A and B are shown apart, each in its own frame.
Chain A
């Protein structure tokens, strides 16, 4: 991660935060927003960002389902236990294993993916160390972080101040 160049500010009010986000986006820059809880107003202002998480969950769920059926089927073929006229490969009881492993794989890999995507995003959209350490973002303040070239610093600083930012920090 290289040295951060940009501007970040803290806001008390949600509407001032969303206003700032929109003005920053109008300048062609996608900011990172920090908030104490998820707010759909912020999502709307950011252009409703999406995630690939459902596709990851779907893939690993399907994998779990496949293993849930195929593994018992393979073990039944590996050591054949004939019981009266019952089928050696019985699909209905394997459905339970298939269902459970679908759920298990989906949830495990969803959790892992949330962590991995978070790590990847921290490299793609870095935020300055001072913003990371700011202790009120988990309490009652909103933050907007803008990554930009040195020549645009002043412009974004002005946008934040004009929208009522409590603190504005310029990182060169």
Chain B
């Protein structure tokens, strides 16, 4: 549809935007008031099953806290991480959750700059997901270091030890990358919320809900929607999007350098940065669908989160799945082509286990990274293939199942990278095996509980869709489509 908005010098008139809205979003036929009402209805008192769901997530979170408390009490030795496997479940979870956190900023910033219209209905929830996922990820380095009360040693400040942190270390780059990403994600999320909280404030006042009005008034930061506020806001939003776009790509690149800068076989490779970034977008978008498809069904949001939106996300998933699959193959090829026996050994070990005999089945003793490898290949390379078919992409249940499988696959991808390489470094005398303890499993379950608790609270306390952008995408209320221009 041609966009006709703007000043037409030949006609000497400003033409009102005839753009009927974003393709595929039926909500664009709603008027402003209807959008307000529909979004506010989502924040009404929840069904009792909501509390049951929340309780389930809280219990999982509680299990995580309990497990962590035991680890603090007994010591880090109570976890399965020990020599030679110093990074186990905790760093796997860290990388996994950072990856999940990539989709929100990708959708809100990158797709904003590239003007992908289908992002409107889902970017707020994806952004919230980013914030909560990065919160979750940020906990894992603290849990992993064993003595979290000394975590502040990572921060460069003048101290009695007369030492500075090592800025040449990839681990410190990670501190800067993750804290910057977390700060920017939170600010971007809050910035997007300001006009919508003003909507909540005014609707609470209009409907005589004094307590809500009292809560939302300070949160709205005196937003009135004047043209002066909008001009700063929209330009600021653009600056945020422009800053967040390279940040999305940098963060997981820097996380990948935690591995790639070391000389461990299977890690020391230049493909890691793009491979990790593609994997992060892949898993993040899969998590977006895993969470939003049930929300769409529960709240009846088919008019906003249409099949077109699900299909668009699915297409990006297909694209990133190809990149990830290609990266897997490249790793194996480079392992072979390098001529290094250590590289060749690790890429034999990952799929087939110990190289006791030169058979494809190895010694037939399954170990954890081996299970992880095959799950990774199945879930990340083969499971998304049905998405190539329109019929599958158009079926939310099928897409949801594939997205859930991708989440599983991406968790195991990170574990496969970490576990296998550390188990099988250079010297066979220092080889070892890793199995997680109950404490690590408890903390991992707790991290999912933490993430979903925060998200469940979010969908009932703040608008899960951007009211302002939905209005911007709909046809404006006009009486006579054309009016006299500003210059004449």
Contacts and interface: CB of A to CB of B under 8 A. Distances in A.
Interface stretch (B78-86, B89-97, B243-251, B326-334): B243-251
A51 B7 contact: no
Interface in A91-116: 93-94, 96-97, 99-101, 103-104, 106-108, 110-111, 113-115
Interface string B223-250: 0111111111111100110011011001
B226 A108 contact: no
A125 B224 CA distance: 13
Interface in A1-49: 12-16, 18-19, 21-22, 25, 32-47, 49
A167 B228 CA distance: 22
A150 interface: no
A10 B83 CA distance: 71
A114 B187 CA distance: 12
Contact of B166 (A81, A118, A140): A81
Interface in A108-147: 108, 110-111, 113-115, 117-118, 121-122, 124-125, 127, 132-133, 135-140
Interface string B172-194: 01001100100110011011000
Contacts of B17: 39-41
A135 B226 CA distance: 14
A31 to B, nearest CB: 9
A71 B239 CA distance: 25
B167 A76 contact: yes
Interface centre among A15, A106, A108, A125 (most CB of B within 10 A): A15
Nearest to B168: A93
Interface residues of B, number: 74
A138 B164 contact: no
A34 B472 CA distance: 14
A22 B239 contact: no
B236 A110 contact: yes
Interface string B191-208: 100010011011101100
A72 B187 contact: no
A160 B168 CA distance: 65
Interface string A63-99: 0000000011001101101000010001001101101
A19 B484 contact: yes
B184 A104 contact: yes
B177 A107 contact: no
Contact of A13 (B168, B232, B477): B477
Contacts of B225: 34-37, 137-138
B164 to A, nearest CB: 4
B312 interface: no
Contacts of B247: 103
B323 interface: no
Given A75-B156, A81-B166, A127 B484 contact: no
B315 interface: no
A138 B202 contact: yes
Interface centre among B230, B233, B482 (most CB of A within 10 A): B230
Interface stretch (B30-38, B132-140, B297-305, B391-399): B30-38
A13 B478 contact: yes
B198 A164 contact: no
Contact of A107 (B7, B240, B250, B480): B240
Contacts of B454: none
Given A41-B14, A100-B177, A51 B224 contact: no
B177 A19 contact: no
B461 interface: no
B483 interface: yes
Contact of B176 (A41, A96, A124, A135): A96
A3 B164 CA distance: 56
A15 to B, nearest CB: 4
Contacts of A47: 486
A53 B232 contact: yes
A50 B250 CA distance: 31
A158 B221 CA distance: 34
B59 interface: no
A149 B177 CA distance: 54
B5 A22 contact: no
Nearest to A25: B486
B102 interface: no
Given A71-B156, A75-B156, A114-B191, A38 B234 contact: yes
9 contacts: A36-B32, A36-B471, A54-B235, A96-B254, A107-B244, A108-B183, A117-B228, A136-B202, A139-B199
In the A-B complex, the 4 residue pairs with the smallest Cβ-Cβ separation, listed nearest first, are A72-B167, A75-B164, A140-B32, A37-B471
Given A101-B176, A101-B180, 19 more contacts: A19-B484, A33-B226, A36-B468, A37-B471, A40-B6, A44-B7, A44-B486, A76-B164, A78-B164, A99-B246, A104-B183, A104-B184, A107-B187, A118-B229, A118-B232, A135-B205, A136-B202, A139-B203, A140-B33
